[in-house]
Structure formats: C-alpha cells, structure tokens
Chain A
Amino acid sequence: MTAPTPTADHVRAHVRAFILHSCLLGAAPEELLDDTPLVSGGIVDSLATVQLVAELEERYGIAIEPHEAGVAFMDTVRDIVALVMGKL
C-alpha cells in the first residue's frame, strides 16, 4: 500500500514545524508567515537548509537539485511548498 499523496497543507505544516523547531526555537508559530524571508532573512542558514533538504527528500521521496537548495527556490515557506509540490 502506498501512502496517500501529501497535500500542500501537509507539506506546509511539515516545513513550518521544521523551521520553528530548528531555526526559531521559542518563537510563536504566528510569527512565521508564508512569505517571511528565510534564507535572505538569515533565519535558515546553510546548515539548516541542508538538513531541511535532506528531510524533505527522504519524507517525500523527491530529489532537490543543488541549485534549488538556496535563496532562489527556498526563501519562503510558500517557495518551499511549491518546490516540493512540483516534484510529487
């Protein structure tokens, strides 16, 4: 049996949980908006980006290319959800 295809809401919740736990410990969830600048805003650093990419690849069985793992494709929660959904 295969797992049901995740919805954008699932991915969004997962990405938010990762960022809040790994990069914004102590922050109220409502502080993190869909368009909060993550990489350009210094919230998600390169180490956290690598960890997030690894987690998304494993969880959703997708491949994120090195050129995608950065500010151009992963600067906001909205960007990251779109990147993942486009590969499912």
Chain B
Amino acid sequence: MDPLALPDLLARSARRCPDFPAIEEPPAWSISYRELDLLSDRVRDRLRAIGLARGDRVAILARKSIDAVAALLGAMKAGAASVPIDPHAPAWRAAAILVGCSPRVAVAERALATAVREELATLGAPQPRWLELAGTGGGMALRARLDQEDGIAPAPSAPATVGLEDVAYILHTSGSTGVSKGVVLSHCNILSFVHWCSMAFDPRSDDRFSSHAPLHFDLSVLDLYLPLAHGATVVLIGPEASREPVGLAALIADRRITVWYSAPTALAMLAEFGHLERHEFALRLVLFAGEVFPVKHLRALVERIPGPRFFNLYGPTETNVCTAFEIPVPVPPERTAPYPIGQVCPHLRGRIIDSDGRDVPDGTEGELVISGPNVMQGYWNMPDATARAFLADADGTRWYRTGDVVRREAPSADLVFLGRRDRMVKRRGHRIELGDVEAGLYRHPRVREAAVLARADQDAGIRLRAFLSFIDGPRPTIVEMKSFAAGALPAAMIPDEFVFLDTLPKSPTDKIDYLKLRES
C-alpha cells in the first residue's frame, strides 16, 4: 500500500526491520525502528489525550535529538502539523512564530521554553499547552515526561486519520525582509519528494545518512524521511559538531556515513580545514543545496574525497529540491564557472518566464517557475504573500515563482542558475549579478569567503561593498584586492569598497548571512 502520510514510512520500516537502528545520536545514543515507532505512538496518544485534533499545530522547540524527532513524528501521527522552531533563535522570534501558528501544544526543552513563555506573556498572546522536557538526548527526557503524564492520567492508544493533503510541516524561512513566512507542506508534498529521492539516489537499508541541517530547515526533510522510508540509519549531527571541521571529518569517517547532505559551506570548511587525508570515508553520495558552491572549494573537496557521486541540488523551501545536476568528476583545474543546476526533476514541471509571465526562448534568461506535487500549499495565514508567490494558468495550474533567474541554451540542456531576481543590480548601465562579482573574487587564491552587497548611493548610484575572509597566512592589502578585482572583473563589477573579516557571519543554516552583513 502506498503511504498516505510520513509516519507510514516509519511504521513500514518498523515492521520490516524492527531492531535496526533508525537514528543514532552521537556520542552515545541510538534508537531502533521499533522503539522509535513506539515512542512516537506515545507522543501521539499524549497529544490526543491533551485534546489535539486533526489539523492542529504542534511546535517543537528542542535541540536536534531523538527526543525532537520522535516529537515531530508523534505530532504528525496525531494528525497535526509539526512546526519545528530554531532552538537557537532569540525568544522573540520563537514567540512570533508561535503567535503566527497558534499551536495547541508546544513540546519544548524547559531551558528554551521559559524565555518564550515570558515573551508570549508580555505580548498578551495565548500560551500553547507546554509539554516541557528536562533536556534532550536519546529520547530519555521525552520518555520521562510521557511517563510522568501517564502517572497522572494514562493516554489510551488513539491512532488518528491522516491524509495526503493534511499539513505535515510548517517550515519558517528567514525571509529577506526579516518577516518570517511559514511554508505549509502537506504529506503529499513531502512524500512525492521522498519518492523522487528514492528514484534518483537508490537508497539502501545499509545506508547511513547524515542529518547535518537543523530540523527547522528544509534539508532536514531529506535527512529524516529518505532513510526512514528505506529502513536506513540517520546520524544526527548537532550544530557544535558542524562548526568544527576536524571533528566533523572524523565523525563522518567513524560513523561510516554513506550519504551526506548539507549546504556547500559545511563542505567547503571540511575540504579546507577538515584534514580529510587522515580518514577513509564510506561516502557514496555527497549532496549539496542551498547556495552556489564556489568551484575552487568543490574542486578541493572532490580531490580530497574521491569515490562518491556529487550532486548539486537546487530548490527553495517552497518546492524542496526541484532540479538536480551530477557533478562530472574530476573538476578541471581551469574551471571557474559554477556548475549548472541541471534538469527539472521528472515529477515536476518547470518554465522560464519573462516579467510578463511569458515563456522566454532558449538562450534567454528568465525566472524559473515550478509546478507539481512538491510545491507547497502556501504560506501559513498569509493569503496575500501566497497569491504573490504563484502564477496561475488558464487551466488552473499553479506555478511557484522561485525568484531565481536561470537560462537554458536548448530544450534538453541543463539549467544554469544566474542569480536571485533581487540580487541583480544595474550599475553604470550594466546589469550586474552580485554572485558573479563574488565568483570573480573567489578566484583570488587567498580568498576563503566572499559576499558582495549593493547599496544605493545618491552620489555614486549603486555602490558595491565586498566582504572577504581569507585562508590562513598573510592577508592581501585592500590595494592588492582592488587591483586583483580590476584584473578579474569588468569595470562596472569592481567593488567600491572592501571589508576584511576573520569570518563572514552565517545563518543557522550555514549560509552566508547577508542580512547581518547589511547591518554591519
């Protein structure tokens, strides 16, 4: 029988391989498929006993752990949408998400819940029913809490009806304007994505997946549900480990991870600082998504980890992955252009349109729009933003506007990502993609990270400001960087200003944080 909801994937694997490890949580914990199914059943029953109904929301405010994943699954089993919240976000931001989603229940670590409760009280906003955990790790705090509740009043076993169109997740994007939008994903959205992944990557039950991205980030959907669907094992990697490349490389090797998925930044850090030559890896797939992988770091990675297949995946949270490209290895030494994002996944449809919504001819750039079963239902409680995000055909087909500008030279050619619609600026009569300026700066041998911002200046029109960090050793001077840029880039693309930093600020998802740079 085809699964109708994400927890069905877990239940199916729990029947097939009950004693196989579903999740490992370093350093010491792991949980089998049977135990994970039972623990998430207990969460479901407790939530139902509290009064949770189909279509409600459950906020999860906890560090990445077996506890947090079991809570996510339990909420979905109860017919609710899981709303994972960044456990490292400031309390006001978590509170804003709770106000927006009005969850009936919040499963939260006590240490994180206190400040958010206070924030809600200050706002005069209603409180969810708080199901507080003393901590996280191995599912023990969650079990203890359920035991405690059961001691007061037992929760009867209460399977719920969950359908394909029920909301599984609400994932909050950071939003370039600072207002966070809740991306509403149905079980159908995610199951269709998992199904495509199964076709594309041929997962096996002896695969060991990394879970590098935080649970509130869309990459985590692949990390969690693809292994669950195939009875494989997922290894949870916390934010502390993610930021320490030497230890992370050792963890990938020691845990025999076979499928890695992350933003390129983490891989670039590994290639550069991870001492990869010290290890033998079991990797067979390295997947990356979320931003452009600077070619020099990708080349270094491919050289230092020979063997796996490397895939560039593309897609916003609103569609999850919608195009894929396998990197041909090795990466030639002379290559500087980023790789294409590839072909639209076969279960989706893509069009490239101009600003009037008409298809552009091949060879012409335009905005990529996507339709198909992966595409989100909309933004939570934001009908205007939802309406703006879609184009509708006469036949009713909804096309999600990615905001990304792409080009394709021929009908069957790979899509080339050219930049964000909102990262294109006009300067001295030239249309400039800020990512191209960054790509030019990355050609400097000492540049480790580059980010370029444009700002309107009443005297000079658009001014470009480049933020750079360097690999260890002597730093170039600003005079040298400016001269280098003049050699590497057309005149209109040479930054007006250079700012040297030890490291560029990162978002919790390890992407360069442009908002923070803009404020600096």
Contacts and interface: CB of A to CB of B under 8 A. Distances in A.
Interface in B460-493: 477-479, 482-483, 485-487, 491
Contact of B478 (A31, A42, A47): A31
Contact of B491 (A36, A37, A45): A45
Interface stretch (A6-14, A18-26, A52-60, A61-69): A18-26
Contact of B479 (A36, A46, A47): A36
B428 interface: yes
Contacts of A27: 477-479, 498
B513 interface: no
A47 to B, nearest CB: 7
A32 B494 contact: no
Nearest to B492: A45
Contact of A31 (B477, B491, B499): B477
Interface residues of A, number: 16
A25 B491 contact: no
Contacts of A25: 496-498
A41 B486 contact: yes
Contacts of B496: 23, 25
A24 B477 CA distance: 10
Contacts, number: 44
The interface size bin for chain B is: 10 to 19
A46 B490 CA distance: 12
Contacts of A46: 491
Q: Tell me which of A23, A42, A45 has the highest count of chain B C-beta atoms within 10 A of its own C-beta.
A: A42
B428 A43 contact: no
B337 to A, nearest CB: 22
Contacts of B499: 26
Nearest to B499: A26
Contact of A24 (B428, B478, B487, B491): B478
Given A31-B478, A43-B483, 18 more contacts: A23-B482, A23-B496, A24-B482, A25-B496, A25-B497, A26-B499, A27-B477, A36-B479, A41-B482, A41-B483, A41-B486, A42-B485, A43-B479, A43-B482, A43-B486, A45-B486, A45-B491, A46-B491
When A and B form their complex, which 3 residue pairs have the shortest distance between CB atoms, in order from nearest?
A: A42-B486, A27-B478, A41-B483
10 contacts: A26-B498, A26-B499, A27-B477, A31-B477, A37-B483, A41-B483, A42-B486, A43-B482, A43-B483, A43-B486
